[in-house]
Amino acid sequence: MTTKTFTVPNISCNHCVHTVKSELGDLAGVQSVAASAETKQVTVAWDAPANWEKIESLLKEINYAPA
């Protein structure tokens, strides 16, 4: 399993956190998602078929691009 923590500047409230967690959680292979509106940090753990490129692309698509 691969885990990555990164900053998402567009996270500003708990609704943003919910959106990021639910969208990433629906991606095949994503095992867990943790996010914080206070720190704007997201931690994602995944296995195949998910990969960083797919995760980053989905985040950009929903307007929560990682910094």
What domains appear along the chain, each with residue ranges and CATH number? 2-61 (3.30.70.100)
In this prediction, residue 7 carries a pLDDT of 98
Q: Say what the pTM is.
A: 0.94
How far apart are the C-alpha atoms of 51 and 53, rounded to whole Å?
5
How far apart are the C-alpha atoms of 54 and 45, rounded to whole Å?
13
Residue 65's pLDDT band (cuts 50, 70, 90):
very high
How far apart are the C-alpha atoms of 60 and 35, rounded to whole Å?
16
Residue 29's pLDDT band (cuts 50, 70, 90):
very high
Mean pLDDT of 33-50: 98
The DSSP code for 56 is H
In this prediction, residue 48 carries a pLDDT of 97
Mean pLDDT of 33-52: 98
β-bridge mates for residue 45, sequence order: 3, 32
Cβ pair 32, 10 in contact under 8 A: no
